[in-house]
């Protein structure tokens, strides 16, 4: 079975944005963004995804990708 790989750390690095700065812009606690950044989540709300895309000026596919390899 495939999986979704989160690339939030890569997008943040490309934008030179810290976790604290992103947390302030998105309105999500640092600890929750850290879990998202490190792939320790099973779900994400669309409202959070929208806020991340707006803050990072990116598309959802920049933050997540499907890995179908086993």
Residue-wise pLDDT for 30-60, tens only, equals 999 999 999 899 999 999 999 999 999 999 9
- Domain of 50 in residue numbering reads as 3-67
The pLDDT of residue 69? 86
Number of domains in the chain: 1
DSSP string, the chain: --EEEE-HHHHHHHTT--HHHHHHHHT--HHHHHHHHTT--S---HHHHHHHHHHHT--HHHHEEEE---
Residue 20, domain CATH: 1.10.260.40
| Residue 70 pLDDT > 80 | no
What is the predicted pLDDT for the residue at 1? 85
Q: What's the predicted TM-score (pTM) here? A: 0.90
Look at 18 and 70; give whichever has higher pLDDT: 18
pLDDT at 48: 95
């Amino acid at each position: 079975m495939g999986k979704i790989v989160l690339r939030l750390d890569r997008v943040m690095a490309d934008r030179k944005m810290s976790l604290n700065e992103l947390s302030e812009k998105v309105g999500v606690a640092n600890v929750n963004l850290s879990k998202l950044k490190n792939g320790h989540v099973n779900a994400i709300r669309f409202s959070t995804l929208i806020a991340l895309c707006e803050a990072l000026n990116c598309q959802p596919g920049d933050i997540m990708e499907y890995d179908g390899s086993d």
